[in-house]
Structure 1
Amino acid sequence: MSITELTQRQRTRRPWVDDPYARALRTGRGPLFLRRSDGWLLPLDVERWCAAPDATDTALLRRCQGPVLDIGCGPGRLVAALTAYGHGALGVDVSPAAVARTRGAGGAVLHRSVFDRLPAEGSWGTALLADGNIGIGGDPHALLLRIRELLAPAGRLLVEAAPYDVDERLTVRVEDARGRHGSDFPWARLGTRALLAAAADTGWSPAERWEADGRPFVDLRRCAPPDQP
């Protein structure tokens, strides 16, 4: 799937908008889940996302350089923390509730998909994909190729992987404990091994790997894609 096709699909599907996710962000509380059609449930850590950054988040933010783009910023804890540190940062998110909460926390944010046109393309020093956001769009290869367009040549992509060995492309929906749910949308989950394989396929090389509090991370740097010299 091309980036243009994925952009069009992102615009026609509106996950995370007027559904239990929006309500959870307004209150800062779950429980909230991703549900697959076969009944499988993945808990979403709403309370942590809506709290101040923890020690694991802080270690991630210390690795940021230059202006930072937080892709799928959610309620904005990372953007707000970077701003408080005096670091240039911008969040992007498709959820109006996430955008409102990020602005309320003092972070700069755009109500936009990563596949839409963004400011300063090709000059961001760091991009963040935290909290499972490698799954955005359900096509990690397309997402990783898009982020190559956004970063400066010496920029870094800091990605949080799933905490176990997984490589899945899913159709899911957001659901709360009462069974209220939003619309279906494509998602993906990648553990570290699958993430590194997708990175190699799309012109990234790992500069660092680390784990904290059961959360694995990879620092990726741009390199020549496999089909280029």
Structure 2
Amino acid sequence: MSTVSVAANTFGSGGAEPYAEALRRNDAVTLLLRDDEQGAASRSTMDVARWNAGADDADLTLLGSVAGPVLDIGCGPGRMVRAAAELGLEVLGVDVSPTAIAIATEAGLPVLQGSVFDALPGEGAYQTALLVDGNVGIGGDVSALLTRCRSLLTATGEIVVELHPDDDRDNTYTGRLVDARGGESELFPWAEIGLRPMTSLAEQLGFTLLQSWAIDGRTFCRLA
């Protein structure tokens, strides 16, 4: 009997490709990120409409406090990449989604397709790594992702993380994306983490929590 390697799958890929389809349609759409074990009892809303739009006030506040070069991990169609470039920051976006990268490339944005765990240009030279829009969940292992980010940064570099709005949230699971028409992605590993467990994990990994803040219903922190 064949088995599916969940670890080999990435956010929203496979199956009906609801993430890619939502990006292509470029309309006001949301997707549900569902914990496969918990089903409807545990699900989060993913606002693709916001990802397709321009940077909002929360995004611009974040970018106004960082230094380049910036690496936007899980950049999607390039909202943060565009905004960073317009602020004069040197920036590169990376994403595993061919559709997201195609959209960003067509818009003339500096992006590349691949995983943050692949070899990347400029390793060790980035001043800021962005993990926004829930991308701290990439790979389902927050510790491994933060450790990888450390290797991409300068000695004085920082990671800016968008956290789960529930300060106590600490969940690693196998999920899938579902759209309003019932289209489902393949299963993929994911994680969600709030401020309190992030504070503890950061200390364990040797990071310093420099700042945390909330704006427009979103929660962020800066790690050095």
- What's the secondary structure of 2:93's corresponding residue? strand
Counterparts of 1:62-77 in structure 2 under 5 Å? 62-77=64-79
For 1:134 and 1:76, the matched residues in 2 are separated by 17
Match of 1:211 among 201, 208, 214: 214
User: Contact 2:10 / 2:189 at 8 angstroms: preserved in 1?
Assistant: no
User: Contact 1:77 / 1:105 at 8 angstroms: preserved in 2?
Assistant: no
User: Taking structure 1 as reference, are residues 157 and 14 closer, same or farther at Cα in structure 2, changes over 3 Å only?
Assistant: closer
Match for residue 23 of structure 2?
Answer: 25
Match of 1:188 among 166, 172, 191: 191
Between 146-155 and 27-36, the greater mean CA deviation after superposition: 27-36
User: Contact 1:32 / 1:43 at 8 angstroms: preserved in 2?
Assistant: yes
TM-score (norm 1): 0.89
User: Taking structure 1 as reference, are residues 157 and 196 closer, same or farther at Cα in structure 2, changes over 3 Å only?
Assistant: same
Q: State the aligned residue count.
A: 213
- Runs (4 or more) in structure 1 with deviation over 4 Å come to none
Query: Which fold has the larger relative contact order, with Cα–Cα distance below 8 Å and residues 6 or more apart in sequence?
Result: 2
Q: Quote how far apart the aligned CAs of 1:91 are.
A: 0.5
For 1:9 and 1:93, the matched residues in 2 are separated by 18
User: Contact 2:6 / 2:188 at 8 angstroms: preserved in 1?
Assistant: no
For 1:51 and 1:203, the matched residues in 2 are separated by 36
* Cα deviation digits, residues 91-139 of structure 1 (max 9, x gap): 0100011111222333211101000001111110100000111100000
Counterparts of 1:116-131 in structure 2 under 5 Å? 116-131=118-133
Q: Quote how far apart the aligned CAs of 1:14 are.
A: 4.0
Q: Which amino acid aligns with 2:178?
A: E
1:176 matches 2:179:
yes
% identical equivalent positions: 47
TM-score (norm 2): 0.90
Q: Which amino acid aligns with 2:25?
A: T
For 1:126 and 1:156, the matched residues in 2 are separated by 5
1:167 matches 2:139:
no
* Cα deviation digits, residues 62-119 of structure 1 (max 9, x gap): 1220200000011210001111222110001000111112223332111010000011
Match for residue 157 of structure 2?
Answer: 155
For 1:147 and 1:31, the matched residues in 2 are separated by 28
User: Contact 1:125 / 1:155 at 8 angstroms: preserved in 2?
Assistant: yes
Unpaired segments ≥5 residues, structure 2:
none
User: Contact 1:135 / 1:187 at 8 angstroms: preserved in 2?
Assistant: yes
User: Contact 1:80 / 1:105 at 8 angstroms: preserved in 2?
Assistant: no
User: Contact 1:17 / 1:96 at 8 angstroms: preserved in 2?
Assistant: no
